[in-house]
Chains A and B, each alone.
Chain A
Amino acid sequence: NAGVMQNPRHLVRRRGQEARLRCSPVKGHSHVYWYRQLPEEGLKFMVYLQKENIIDESGMPKERFSAEFPKEGPSILRIQQVVRGDSAAYFCASSRVLLGQRSGNTIYFGEGSWLTVV
């Protein structure tokens, strides 16, 4: 987990509000991923970004969710008009290079941001 910084660690929002989750990758990592873990489930892929580009957003809900990774600053996962079902742990991860079968590298996860919608 070394180096991937997520904030806030815990966030409480009322239904209909917006939630913004921030992620600073490991220094030197240009690949960022967001995963969501619902209660009693495994982690589910949401989106993969490189600087200023969304590479794969196949796991993102079509509405209310968006992600960005600007040239400067952290990656942001934004959830608009939150609903109770959005309550989950959101994990950001980063890697230096694209995960490959021969490189032996991996992606490193942050500590997570726990969103509670009341």
Chain B
Amino acid sequence: DQQVKQNSPSLSVQEGRISILNCDYTNSMFDYFLWYKKYPAEGPTFLISISSIKDKNEDGRFTVFLNKSAKHLSLHIVPSQPGDSAVYFCAARGETSGSRLTFGEGTQLTVNP
């Protein structure tokens, strides 16, 4: 049962444009969401997080939006840069799962110069 889904395995955008990465979840007990970026042969790097009591969190070029009623969150990167090319993982934590994170399958973002 995949509780966190990233339906787009890949996304390609032009440098300077907006990248929008989407994530859906099914578990209504999830209360904290995170986005990680991962380069090949490296570990995931934390980007940004959002609590379920908020609907938006912004940090520089990165903004995460949470729509609880739709069980959907998205990561916006603007403007996109070639160095943003990586796999992006959405992750969620549940109220009763302690620090255990459930990850999506990832979306490969390619930013073309």
A residues with CB within 8 A of B: 1, 4, 6, 31, 33, 35, 40-45, 48, 55-56, 58-59, 91, 93, 95, 98-102, 104, 106-112, 114
User: In the complex, which residues of chain A have a beta carbon less than 8 angstroms from the beta carbon of B25?
Assistant: none
Considering only CB atoms and an 8 Å cut-off, how many residues of chain B contact the other chain?
Answer: 29
User: In the complex, which residues of chain B have a beta carbon less than 8 angstroms from the beta carbon of A93?
Assistant: 43
B residues with CB within 8 A of A: 4, 6, 31-32, 34, 36, 41-46, 49, 51-53, 89, 91, 93, 97-106
Smallest Cβ-Cβ distance to B105: which chain A residue: A42
Given A101-B53, A106-B46, A109-B44, answer yes or no on A41-B100 (Cβ-Cβ < 8 Å): no
- Are A41 and B49 touching (Cβ within 8 A)? no
Q: Please report the C-alpha to C-alpha distance between residue A109 and residue B99 in the assembled complex, in whole angstroms.
A: 13
- Are A112 and B103 touching (Cβ within 8 A)? no
| Contact for A108 among B46, B93, B98, B100, CB less than 8 A | B46
Q: Please report the C-alpha to C-alpha distance between residue A55 and residue B41 in the assembled complex, in whole angstroms.
A: 28
- Are A107 and B101 touching (Cβ within 8 A)? yes
- Are A100 and B42 touching (Cβ within 8 A)? no
26 A-B contacts (beta carbon < 8 Å): A1-B44, A4-B43, A6-B43, A33-B99, A35-B103, A41-B105, A42-B4, A42-B103, A42-B104, A43-B91, A48-B98, A48-B99, A55-B98, A56-B98, A58-B100, A91-B44, A99-B93, A99-B98, A102-B51, A102-B53, A106-B34, A106-B49, A109-B43, A109-B44, A111-B41, A111-B42
